[in-house]
């Protein structure tokens, strides 16, 4: 591991699910020090009042959103934005002008400007920042040099699982680029912490449903992520579902099997894809499940194929709050700082029995 000084970082939106997970990871990171935490909900209290994290980070007093200013960001190496997209668009330039680098966990900088009205429902107020934003999914490829990037766009949770599963088959030339269908199911924390009837216990428990049918904002993100990873332009059909569990995503990718390819070829493509990638692990298709990856930055990947029916399937399981958000954000911060990308992430405890 390269030895670098401890970098001071800040988290805006620390009381959200991704912000809470990020504070937990940063508190145990040997080369990051949490120096600023912002949340209106927790303002005036310490992080230890809400999170079981070590005393050094736990003693930090949370400041209100109005104090997310250039003065507050000055001296920080990295500011993590765990805020809604429109809030991130307003806050990112403030942090950048203060000399900090930004890792944004929202969708604020993931797409071209012309896509925001359709997929996010607003016109992008800082389209001038988009060309310089580095979209970084480390195992797939980034849109620029992350070591020099000032603004890094952290991928979405569904996009991470879906892209990695699809990319393994595409790079292995197992499936055609046309006609890819992705079904993915997420735990309720993927919807954020804001209360609503749709995500209350009585509405979710014992139920299973699709939502945002054919209009989920991760659809164009998956297509862009695959293009940034070297694939030709393509369109995917993406369908999200809500699982009656707290966390985790299971994505299933269906593709048209290329002539002459077999189930063994599909499995071999997964093995080649995960090689040398410390957070990716190959598994048999029916072993790709949520329990082994919950609370970790790991990704389980598996694939199978049926030549008789001309179809191949790939599966990816991730924790939507870790690899799908906070863990990948720390992984990207490690790469930005030039330290080993696994730092602070290998010892996250899983929950498999």
pLDDT for 244 equals: 86
- Establish whether 134 is a catalytic residue: no
Q: What share of the chain is helix, strand, coil (3-state, %, to 5)?
A: 35, 20, 45
Fold matches, 7-154+323-337 and 158-320: no
What does 65-129 look like in DSSP terms, one character per residue? GGG-SHHHHTT-SEEEE-S-HHHHHHHHHHHHHTT-EEEE-SSTTSS-GGGHHHHTSS--TTGGG
Identify the CATH assignment for 7-154+323-337 out of 3.40.640.10, 3.40.50.720, 3.40.50.10190, 3.90.1150.10: 3.40.50.720
Q: Where are the domains of the chain?
A: 7-154+323-337, 158-320
Q: Is 123 left (phi over 0), alpha (psi -120 to 50) or beta?
A: beta
- CB neighbours of 4 closer than 8 A, spacing ≥ 6? 31, 337, 338, 339
Residues 6+ apart with CB under 8 A from 132: 144, 149, 150, 151
Contact 193, 201 (CB under 8 A): no
**Cβ of 146: how many Cβ atoms within 10 Å?**
20
At 186, is the secondary structure helix, strand, or coil? strand
**Of 157, 317, 318, 335, which residue is the catalytic one?**
157
The predicted structure's pLDDT at residue 207: 80
What pLDDT is attached to residue 193? 53
CA-closest candidate to residue 133, choices 174, 176, 104: 104
Decide: 289 and 236 in contact? Cβ < 8 Å. Answer: no
Q: How far apart are CA 89 and CA 291, in angstroms?
A: 35
pLDDT tens across the length of the chain (353 residues): 445 579 999 999 999 999 999 999 999 999 999 999 999 999 999 999 999 987 678 999 999 999 999 999 999 999 999 999 999 999 999 999 999 999 999 999 999 999 999 999 999 999 999 999 999 999 998 667 899 999 999 999 999 999 999 999 999 999 999 999 999 999 887 766 565 666 666 677 788 788 888 899 999 999 999 999 999 999 999 999 999 888 999 999 999 999 999 999 999 999 999 999 999 999 999 999 999 999 999 999 999 999 999 999 999 999 999 999 999 999 999 999 999 999 999 988 765 55
C-beta separation of 172 from 271 below 8 A: no
Task: State whether CATH 3.40.190.10 applies to domain 158-320.
Answer: no
pLDDT at 197: 65
Buried b (16+ CB within 10 A) or exposed e, 28-50: ebebbbbbbbbbeebbeebbbeb
Distances (CA, A) of 70 to 99, 101, 127, 158: 9, 12, 21, 32
Q: What is the pLDDT of residue 212?
A: 83
């Amino acid at each position: 591991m390269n030895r670098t000084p401890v970098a001071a970082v800040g988290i805006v939106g620390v009381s959200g699910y991704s912000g809470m997970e990020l504070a937990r990871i940063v508190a145990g990171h040997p080369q990051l020090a949490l120096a600023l935490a912002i949340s209106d909900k927790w303002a005036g209290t310490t992080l230890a009042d809400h999170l079981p994290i070590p005393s050094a980070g736990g003693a930090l007093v949370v400041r209100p959103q109005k104090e997310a200013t250039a003065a507050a960001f000055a001296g920080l190496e990295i500011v993590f934005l765990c805020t809604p997209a429109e809030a991130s668009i307003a806050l990112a330039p403030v942090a950048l002008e203060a000399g900090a680098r930004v890792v944004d966990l929202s969708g604020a900088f993931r797409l071209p400007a012309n896509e925001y009205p359709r997929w996010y429902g607003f016109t992008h107020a800082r389209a001038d920042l988009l060309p310089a934003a580095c979209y970084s999914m480390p195992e797939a490829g980034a849109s620029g040099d992350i070591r020099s990037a000032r603004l890094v766009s952290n991928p979405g949770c569904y996009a991470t699982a879906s892209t990695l599963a699809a990319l393994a088959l595409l790079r292995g030339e197992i499936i055609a680029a046309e006609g890819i269908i992705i079904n993915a199911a997420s735990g309720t924390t993927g919807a954020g912490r804001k209360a609503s009837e749709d995500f209350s216990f009585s509405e979710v428990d014992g139920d299973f449903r699709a939502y945002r049918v054919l209009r989920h904002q991760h659809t164009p993100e998956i297509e862009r992520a695959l293009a940034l990873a070297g694939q030709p332009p393509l369109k995917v059909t993406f369908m999200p579902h809500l699982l009656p569990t707290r966390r985790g995503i299971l994505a299933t990718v269906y593709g048209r099997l290329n002539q002459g390819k077999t189930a063994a070829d599909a499995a071999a493509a997964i093995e080649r894809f995960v090689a040398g990638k410390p957070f990716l692990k190959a598994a048999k298709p029916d072993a790709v499940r949520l329990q082994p990856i919950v609370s970790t930055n790991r990704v389980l990947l598996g694939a199978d194929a049926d030549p008789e029916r001309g179809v191949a399937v790939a599966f990816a399981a991730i924790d939507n709050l870790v690899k799908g958000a906070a863990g990948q954000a720390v992984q990207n911060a490690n790469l930005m700082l030039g330290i080993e990308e696994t730092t602070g992430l290998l010892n996250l405890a899983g929950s498999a029995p």
